[in-house]
């Protein structure tokens, strides 16, 4: 099993925010991450996704790697952002069996995020619970996966979509011996599965 876990960065985010004289509301406006999510991250009560962290680096004007090393300035924003394939942010598990490419823009971090997911044969991506009410929509593009959310596990084959809560421990496993790909959309809030609020 492989687990992608973010370091405890709440205190670092808080220090960077305060060093810039920003309130939670101001950083929320700059990063696109909700004020409540920021507060939860700073208190260590939320497991931020890499897309949320990416949004925070943009709002704080620091390099992603520098977020954990004290902060550095980054170039100013442009009106239209084109992200070449080779510059699309990518997350890899420590054993290299799972690769997630962050396709969503930083401005949507903490509300709606989407990822291109590739898992090697027999690989598994385990995740800690996200914020209350969050859910994922996972579409298998190739291969066959096993989706686990809490105590429930269901198979998902190419062309099928699974929708499941992720405010509980959850995982995506490649049930085959070949690499498989899928598209994952993470929605925060109580309307994530299309149910009325």
First to last CA, the chain: 35
Reply yes or no on whether the pLDDT at 155 is more than 60: yes
pLDDT digits (tens, 9 = 90+) for 83-101: 678 778 888 888 889 999 9
pLDDT digits (tens, 9 = 90+) for 108-153: 777 899 999 999 999 999 999 998 999 999 999 999 999 999 999 9
Reply yes or no on whether the pLDDT at 47 is more than 60: yes
Which pLDDT band holds residue 43 (cuts at 50, 70, 90)? confident
| Domain-wise residue ranges, the chain | 9-68, 89-187
Q: Is the dihedral of CA 77, 28, 100, 159 positive or negative?
A: negative
Lowest mean pLDDT among 30-34, 79-83, 111-115: 79-83
CATH superfamily ID and name for 89-187: Jelly Rolls (2.60.120.10)
**What's the pLDDT at 74?**
44
**What's the pLDDT at 14?**
84
**What's the pLDDT at 8?**
64
- Residue 79: alpha-carbon gap to chain centroid: 24
In terms of pLDDT, which residue wins out, 9 or 186?
Answer: 186
Give the separation between CA 94 and CA 2, rounded to whole angstroms.
Answer: 7
pLDDT mean over 156-168: 96
Pairing relation of β-strands 170-174 and 180-187? unpaired
Lowest mean pLDDT among 14-23, 71-80, 114-123: 71-80
Q: Which option is the CATH number for 9-68: 1.10.3720.10, 3.40.50.150, 3.90.190.10, 1.10.260.40?
A: 1.10.260.40
Q: 129: Cβ–Cβ under 8 A, 6 or more apart, which residues?
A: 47, 166, 167, 168, 169, 170
Q: Which two tokens stand for residue 136?
A: 């994922």
**What's the pLDDT at 67?**
66
Contact between 148 and 110 (Cβ < 8 Å): no
Lowest mean pLDDT among 15-19, 22-26, 143-147: 15-19
Q: 47: Cβ–Cβ under 8 A, 6 or more apart, which residues?
A: 5, 6, 127, 128, 129, 130
**What's the pLDDT at 76?**
47
**What's the pLDDT at 31?**
85
């Amino acid at each position: 099993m492989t687990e992608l876990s973010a370091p405890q960065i709440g205190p670092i985010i808080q220090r960077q925010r305060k060093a810039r004289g920003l309130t939670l509301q101001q950083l929320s406006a700059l990063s696109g991450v909700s004020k409540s999510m920021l507060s939860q991250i700073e208190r260590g009560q939320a497991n931020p996704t890499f897309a949320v962290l990416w949004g925070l680096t943009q709002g704080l004007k620091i390099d992603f790697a520098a977020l954990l090393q004290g902060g550095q300035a980054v170039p100013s924003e442009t009106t239209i952002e084109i992200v070449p394939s080779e510059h699309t942010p990518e997350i890899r598990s420590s054993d290299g069996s799972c690769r997630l490419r962050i396709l969503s823009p930083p401005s949507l971090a903490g509300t709606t995020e989407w990822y291109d997911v590739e898992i090697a044969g027999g690989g598994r991506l385990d995740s800690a619970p996200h914020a209350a009410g969050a859910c994922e929509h996972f579409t298998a593009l190739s291969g066959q996966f096993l989706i686990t959310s809490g105590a429930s596990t269901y198979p998902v084959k190419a062309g099928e979509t699974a929708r499941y809560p992720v405010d509980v421990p959850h995982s995506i496993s490649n049930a085959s011996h070949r690499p498989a790909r899928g598209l994952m959309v993470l929605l925060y809030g109580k309307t994530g599965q299309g149910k009325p609020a």
